[in-house]
Structure 1
Amino acid sequence: MNIDSKIYIAGHHGMVGSAIWRALTIKGYSNLLGKTSKELDLRDQKAVSNFFEKEKPEVVIDAAARVGGILANNEYPYQFLMENLQIQNNLIDNAHKTKVEKFIFLGSSCIYPRLAPQPLKEDYLLTGSLEPTNESYAIAKIAGVKACEAIRKQFGKDYVSLMPTNLYGTHDNFDLKTSHVLPAMIRKFHEAKVNSKSVELWGSGSPMREFLHVDDMADAVVFAVENKLPEHLYNIGTGRDLSIKELAELIQKVVGHKGEIVWDSSKPDGTPRKLMNVDKMRNAGWEAKTSLEIGVKATYNWFLENKYNYKQVKI
């Protein structure tokens, strides 16, 4: 990969896309291309086709998606299915038509069966039923994985899918209606600290989850850009998990909240456990570097600086 290769990052203003942009810039890549959703609606087949014909990128990184937590996935299943299919189909098909040789597709660990053996291996894809609370999103992402695999098999192109575990970090979404569990907890504990209140959290606290800082995810993408990976699908994670209760206690400590944590067991827990087997990526030469506590502190500091301008915590 040349340092001046034209690299298009779809979704470059999002948490993951912006982290990839930063990581590539630090490495010296200067010919980066990005469009906001107002400049280019990735759901619009004609607009995406015109964009590829005009710009002719050499590498495409698909970090664009409609994303959200359990609540958003439950309330908007059609949008999560259809919009993600439209976005990725337009990107993958037009990349192939305009002779893009390297395409990196980003998905999620929710593509694996709900009750698959732990830790999750890439081979477990399509071996069982999905988690109902995010089935629509998962089906869309599985379609993207299979499209990239088909192009790789049929045309010999370097199209690879990277499936991250739960991501968090700078530029995260802290909206309580649409955010994922970790940023939602950061906001809840912070506001409870400010108002001297208890914190109510969904579920029992027993599900096990793995979390990866977005800068580590970006580093994995840069690794995939600079190396030709021998297979089509790789898990990206730390290979370590903890319970939601343990996560809550860690965030409570980082934030400095002293009140009570109340668990609402009438709310869904989601998948009991989602730990990634990261042996394939580790054997290829990449592994995560950021500890969860340091990552949570950095994320809380970003939240304070960008949302409330409060005094930051020490890392």
Structure 2
Amino acid sequence: MTPVGGKLSWQSYTDETPSADDSDVLVMNGLWEQLNVTRDSSDYLWYLTDVNIASNEGFLKSGQDPLFTVMSAGHALHVFINGQLSGTVYGSLDNPKLTYSSNVKLRAGVNKISLLSVAVGLANVGVHFETWNTGVLGPITLKGLNEGTRDLTKQRWTYKVGLKGEAQSLHTVTGSASVEWAEGSLLANKQPLTWYKTTFDVPPGDDPIALDMGSMGKGEVWVNGQSIGRHWPANIANGNCGGCNYAGTFSEKKCQMHCGKPSQRWYHIPRSWLQPSGNLLVVFEEWGGDSTWLYLVKRTSPPPPIWFSDKTATSAYLL
């Protein structure tokens, strides 16, 4: 792949954690299964609640932060405490369930707990697939308080389907013009839940073109409002890429290649979707990637080798 078009000039917009006062929220006691709430309208579901911390809590003086534990049916989870990302965990095809457990910084008074549960499309087919769950189902506990362990599972939770950027259609020309974007020294790089946009002209020629997403984490990409795919280059392939021997019973783990690399790095952009200039490119970055290393590239293929043979000889040669 060969870079084309030079360096792209990016702008950014950071999605905010929602509030219980936002419109289109659901308020219920206890934890609900994700797909039953989202109805597959979004990959994302926010679980929001408040935690009150008394001013006489011992950890406020000792500095020993309480242990926050969240158990989820999958597939991925981002934990925000008072608007700041505290951690990210994700499951796998073999075991989509996950557990977040970490000491968290809390303050006296009301603390905002925001859990962003993500469905990533792990296979859910098989016997009784209708019983397979997604989302935060608990238990959720806070350990290290004066009372010991506080169970947050059955308290009041607020649910918000999707991200603000999704609702604003930031991937479209009209939607992207509805918010103020940061640029230059204010560009948000390596930050979670960040949208990036730029414009570009069609590279000359007719070689296939693509977007090099190797510097990004996880999210989705659009060109002129059309999705060219979901990206997840931060999730690299593991396994044993040793010697290859197909002898014996075959399994998917035989003769593995490209261990330590993402499943996909380059994302094809159909030239038929493009106009000569001013094409809108929007990237949603869920984890926090580096947009300064996003490039347009083209694929150039050398001509096939041409073999010539001498009719009077028994050999052939390569031109």
User: Structure 2 length as normaliser, TM-score?
Assistant: 0.25
User: Structure 1 length as normaliser, TM-score?
Assistant: 0.25
Which structure's CA Rg is the greater one?
2
Higher RCO structure, 1 or 2 (CA under 8 Å, sep 6+): 2
